[in-house]
Amino acid sequence: MAVNTYKAMQVIRPGDLQLVELEVPTPGIDEALIRVEACGICGADAGAIEGLEAGLKLPRTPGHEVVGRIVALGAASTRWQIGQRVGVGRLGGHCNACEQCRRGHFNLCQDQPVVGSSQDGGYAQMMIARVTGLVAIPDVLGSVDAAPLLCAGIATFNALRKSGALAGDLVAVHGIGGLGHLALQYARRMGLRVAAIGRGADIEAQALELGAHCYIDSQAQDPVARLKSLGGAQVILTTITDSAAVSPLMGALAPQGTLLVVGVGREPLSIMPGALVGGERTVRGTITGTPYESEKTLDFSVMADVRARIETMPLERAWEAYQRVRSGEVQFRMVLTMNDA
């Protein structure tokens, strides 16, 4: 590879992910150029790879769980240093100018790129990022371990922090996959009483090992009845995209309980108003978080020894790795590494 080029996996057309060689870009005034060390594969990458997102412009480099080192900085980037290890998540950096930014709601910024969708992401040896989207990576956390925490980690950690659940409350984690296996760890270490809801008896041992106090096999028993028998859940954190399976869980919430949605399904939820009004229950969605909150996620993960369970593949095998993620066979996160590209 020539010194002024780098390798990247680009979506050339829907369903066609190819290894290409591109010219190394120069960062803009408020940007950083990152030499990528690791990039996680997320189920949301399908939007770009399969061409499912409205307004998607191709070619596009996917990937939004990115960790690497800064190799160049724009003139306005005074907080960061060349050689510093940083991460970038799904939200590519707030604008500091829109109404939501003025309110301090940086994760709700109305003018920020979506990494891997509206801007090129981390399936590449190099990547440009807004400095407002950068996350400092703790020295004790390896790049491969850090990558999934920038999406699956913050999505579940932040959701639980915002849920209102207190130590000892019953919290159910619905779906024990890439998001759910982290949610179980976070919930247990936050002092919550944790129920895991999954499909099949084969995952019970893993769910208990990850932190669940009890496991509910939705194929063998009614999750609503079981949670009711435990007193009702203060929070049900659902990580799956099957809205038909999520909707009935409202009946398992305790009064003033919250159904917390982090899995984005394509069908509407179906919820009876009486379930909301009668017990003052709530349905709430959360969207990852700010770079500051990502750093809190990483710090807590180090302190409490929370780690994603990870498989790795080199960049050039990204299509194979993506297919493994889509098949549901990966346990539980896939991370691309750049050393062999």
Q: Which amino acid is at 187?
A: A
Task: Compute the average pLDDT of residues 45-67.
Answer: 95
Query: Above 90 in pLDDT, residue 231?
Result: yes
What is the β-pairing status of strands 333-337 and 253-261? unpaired
Task: Compute the average pLDDT of residues 70-87.
Answer: 92
* Structural domain ending residue among the three candidates 254, 269, 285: 285
Query: Above 80 in pLDDT, residue 3?
Result: no
Per-residue pLDDT band for 182 (boundaries 50, 70, 90) equals: very high
Nearest to 31 by CA among 85, 90, 89, 71: 71
Task: Compute the average pLDDT of residues 25-46.
Answer: 96
Percent of the chain with pLDDT over 90: 88
Percent of the chain with pLDDT over 70: 99
**Whether residue 266 is found in the same domain as residue 301:** no
Q: How many CB atoms within 10 Å of residue 17?
A: 23
Give the domain range for residue 265. Answer: 153-285
DSSP string, 82-124: TT-EEEE-SB----S-SHHHHTT-GGG-SS--BBTTTB--SSB
Q: Tell me, what's the pLDDT at 207?
A: 97
CATH number at residue 84: 3.90.180.10
Q: Tell me, what's the pLDDT at 175?
A: 96
* Tens of pLDDT, residues 253-287: 999 999 999 988 888 898 888 889 989 999 999 88
CATH number at residue 190: 3.40.50.720
Q: Tell me, what's the pLDDT at 2?
A: 45
Q: Tell me, what's the pLDDT at 341?
A: 44
**Whether residue 9 is found in the same domain as residue 147:** yes
* Tens of pLDDT, residues 142-151: 999 999 999 9
Nearest to 31 by CA among 100, 137, 119: 119
**Whether residue 39 is found in the same domain as residue 160:** no
Locate 150 and state its tokens.
């920038």
**Whether residue 117 is found in the same domain as residue 182:** no
Task: Compute the average pLDDT of residues 72-77.
Answer: 88
Q: Tell me, what's the pLDDT at 275?
A: 84
Per-residue pLDDT band for 299 (boundaries 50, 70, 90) equals: very high
* Tens of pLDDT, residues 89-133: 999 999 999 999 999 999 999 999 999 999 999 999 999 999 999
How many whole angstroms separate alpha carbon 182 and alpha carbon 306? 7
Locate 23 and state its tokens.
């010219």
Query: Above 90 in pLDDT, residue 195?
Result: yes
Q: What is the CA radius of gyration of the chain?
A: 20
Task: Compute the average pLDDT of residues 221-225.
Answer: 96
Q: Tell me, what's the pLDDT at 278?
A: 86
Please state the domain count of the chain. Answer: 2
How many whole angstroms separate alpha carbon 77 and alpha carbon 69? 15
- Per the prediction, the chain carries an average pLDDT of 95
